[in-house]
Amino acid sequence: MPSVLSIILISILVVALIAIIASGYVKAPPDMAYIISGYKKKPRILIGRAGVRIPFLERKDTLSLRQISIDIKTNGFIPTQDFIGVDIDAVAKVAIMRDEDGIQRAMQNFLNMPEDMIIQCLTDSLQGNMREIIGTVTLKELCTDRKKFGDEVQEKAQQDMNRLGIQIISCNIQKIEDERDLINALGQDNMSQIQKDASIAKANAERDVAIATANAQREANEAKVASDTEIAQKQNELAIKRSELKREADIKQAEADAAYKIQEEEQRKSIEITTANANLARQEKEIELKAREVEITEKALEAEIKKKAEADKYAAQQAADAKLYTTQKTSEAELYERQKQAEAEKFEAIQKAEATKAESEARRIAMENEAAGIKAKGDAEASAIQAKAEAEAAGILKKAEAMKQYGDAARQQMQLDTLKVYFEQLPAIAQAIAAPMSQIDKITMYGEGNTAKLTGDITTTIKQVTDGIKDSTGVDPLSLLVGVLGDRALSGTGNSDPDGE
């Protein structure tokens, strides 16, 4: 058990030691110097390498080694050696020295200091050195040799910067202005001098060109005369040589002409014989070639006509197939469109027909209900009138029975009384049947036969009243009317009613 505890304690100590060492590990970048101090008398400097800082015993400080740009201005007109006030703007590039002595001096002045504070510390010293140098040079020297002035400022200021551990990398003059605009005057003076020198140089150059041109023309003329003389001599010699050669050539030509004529005659004979044979052979060959050409032409024409006919046939067939295919597709498309349109129209017609049918059915039902109500009311009133007519007819019947004894005159009188009662009550019956119709503002008939059906219903109602009188009294008003009219016709009397009705 104690051994396990010892192992644990040792492990904890080792881990703690490793953690402490790891927390003290530092690594400096190339543009930064890490200063490790505290444990030893002389601090350690790390630039671009790693090191270990002992926690609680040593500390780490930083020192920037980056290049810094400092704007140096005179902030006013400073007199030069020739007492001309100038205002100069320059830029100096500085950095901390990387050698051990320089870093030691820089540590004492710029340790853990940011760049803006370093610039602020160095600006005054650089400006003072530049003002001192301005008083030792003239305005013309400043304008003509800015680099020399910058080098003098850098050299003068570097003496002060060495004590701070700072190295001046470069010093460049950006702008120079003077109090009385004398720099422009110097420029104009220089410009005039330059123009003068340029004019003199131009005149000298033109003079040299003219002299050189004249010398060249003289030498060219001498060379041309000498050349023409030599050419004339050579041409004379050439003409003499040509005459000699021509004479020799004429002699040779005469000899050659004679030999040529002899040879020409011999050649002519051979040529004539050969020409005759060749003409015969050529004519035979031409005949054979013409026959062959005719045969080839016939075959070519036959092949061309056949090929053209086949091509025309194929083209016509392809065009017909394309036209047929186009026609079929167009017909199919039109048929499909007509079918779709017919289906749409059919569906629309079916919807309209169904809507019309439903509306007609609803109106028919409403009309039938209304007509049934009208008929029921008319039947009730007709029944009342029928009852009254039946009562009156019964009274007349009893009267007729009582008057049987009076004979035909009494019978006719009874018939007349019955018809009188019937016709007196007939308008009332018709009015009672039509009275409900007068209460209707408007009737709309749908379908065939509805108007005739309504008229038939009214006529049937009247007929039912007449039939009711006939069934209850045994007297048919219509037959009675026919009989009375027949008797009068037979008797020749215009009116049997004593009352004249």
Q: Is 354 left (phi over 0), alpha (psi -120 to 50) or beta?
A: alpha
In a domain, 347, yes or no: no
Q: How confident is the model over 371-398, as a mean pLDDT? A: 66
- Residue 53: its pLDDT value, please? 83
Count CB atoms within 10 A of the CB of residue 423.
Answer: 12
What SS3 state is found at 133? helix
Position 486: which residue type? G
In a domain, 229, yes or no: no
- Residue 95: its pLDDT value, please? 93
Residues 429 and 395 in one domain: yes
Alpha-carbon distance of 374 to 372, in angstroms, equals 5
- Residue 31: its pLDDT value, please? 87
Structure tokens at 259: 């030999």
* Nearest one of 83, 170, 65, 80 to 126, comparing CA atoms: 170
**CATH code, 427:** 1.10.132
In a domain, 498, yes or no: no
Q: Which H or E run contains 51?
A: strand 50-52
In a domain, 405, yes or no: yes
Structure tokens at 407: 């004979």
In a domain, 61, yes or no: yes
Residues 387 and 416 in one domain: yes
- Residue 358: its pLDDT value, please? 74
**CATH code, 86:** 3.30.479.30
In a domain, 395, yes or no: yes
Average model confidence (pLDDT) across the chain: 77
Residues 95 and 53 in one domain: no
The residue to which tokens 């396990």 are assigned: 4
Q: Which H or E run contains 341?
A: helix 182-402
Q: Which of 133, 156, 180 is the last residue of a domain?
A: 180
Residues 139 and 83 in one domain: yes
Q: How confident is the model over 303-308, as a mean pLDDT? A: 78
* Nearest one of 472, 499, 464 to 393, comparing CA atoms: 472
Beta pairing, strands 59-64 & 85-96 = unpaired
Residues 34 and 121 in one domain: no
- Residue 499: its pLDDT value, please? 43
Res. 285 pLDDT band, cuts 50 70 90: confident
Lowest mean pLDDT among 51-60, 257-266, 472-481, 492-501: 492-501
In a domain, 307, yes or no: no
Residues 47 and 144 in one domain: no
Residues 38 and 98 in one domain: no
Alpha-carbon distance of 348 to 344, in angstroms, equals 6
Residues 117 and 169 in one domain: yes
The residue to which tokens 């780490």 are assigned: 60
State the residue range of the domain holding 38.
23-65
What SS3 state is found at 28? coil
- Residue 472: its pLDDT value, please? 59
* Nearest one of 323, 448, 473 to 389, comparing CA atoms: 473
Alpha-carbon distance of 449 to 368, in angstroms, equals 13
Structure tokens at 338: 């007509």
Model confidence pLDDT, tens digit, residues 426-478: 676 666 666 665 666 555 555 555 556 666 666 676 667 677 666 655 666 66
Q: Which of 180, 213, 244 is the last residue of a domain?
A: 180
**DSSP per-residue letters across 384-408:** HHHHHHHHHHHHHHHHHHHTGGG-H
DSSP state of 42: S
Alpha-carbon distance of 34 to 64, in angstroms, equals 9
Model confidence pLDDT, tens digit, residues 79-108: 888 888 898 999 999 999 988 888 889 988
Model confidence pLDDT, tens digit, residues 34-54: 888 887 778 888 888 888 887
Question: Are the CB atoms for 146 and 134 separated by under 8 Å?
Answer: no
User: Between vectors from CA 183 to CA 178 and to CA 184, what angle results, nearest 5°?
Assistant: 125
Res. 497 pLDDT band, cuts 50 70 90: very low
Residues 486 and 395 in one domain: yes
Alpha-carbon distance of 236 to 241, in angstroms, equals 9
Alpha-carbon distance of 430 to 458, in angstroms, equals 8
pLDDT surpasses 80 at 231: yes
- Residue 493: its pLDDT value, please? 47
In a domain, 479, yes or no: yes
- Residue 313: its pLDDT value, please? 79
Count CB atoms within 10 A of the CB of residue 160.
Answer: 15
Exposure string over 380-418, b if 16+ CB within 10 A, otherwise e: ebbeebbeebbebbeebbeebeebeeeeeeeebbbbbbb
Residues 50 and 124 in one domain: no
**DSSP per-residue letters across 66-91:** S-EEEEEE-SS-EE-TTS-EEEEEEE
Alpha-carbon distance of 501 to 498, in angstroms, equals 8
Residues 410 and 436 in one domain: yes
pLDDT surpasses 50 at 496: no
Alpha-carbon distance of 67 to 75, in angstroms, equals 24
Position 465: which residue type? V
Q: Which of 180, 200, 230 is the last residue of a domain?
A: 180
Q: Is 127 exposed, middle or buried (0-12, 13-18, 19+ CB in 10 A)?
A: buried
DSSP state of 179: T
Model confidence pLDDT, tens digit, residues 258-283: 777 777 777 877 887 888 788 878 88
**DSSP per-residue letters across 276-288:** HHHHHHHHHHHHH
The residue to which tokens 């006509």 are assigned: 305
Q: How confident is the model over 226-246, as a mean pLDDT? A: 85
**CB contact set of 127 (below 8 Å; sequence gap of 6+):** 72, 73, 74, 75
Percent of the chain residues past pLDDT 90, beyond the cut: 4
Residues 373 and 415 in one domain: yes
Q: Is 332 exposed, middle or buried (0-12, 13-18, 19+ CB in 10 A)?
A: exposed
Question: Are the CB atoms for 431 and 425 separated by under 8 Å?
Answer: no
Alpha-carbon distance of 393 to 473, in angstroms, equals 6
**How many domains does the chain contain in total?**
3
Strand intervals (E) in 116-246: 166-178
Model confidence pLDDT, tens digit, residues 110-166: 888 898 999 988 998 898 889 888 888 888 888 888 888 888 888 989 988 999 999
Alpha-carbon distance of 154 to 216, in angstroms, equals 58
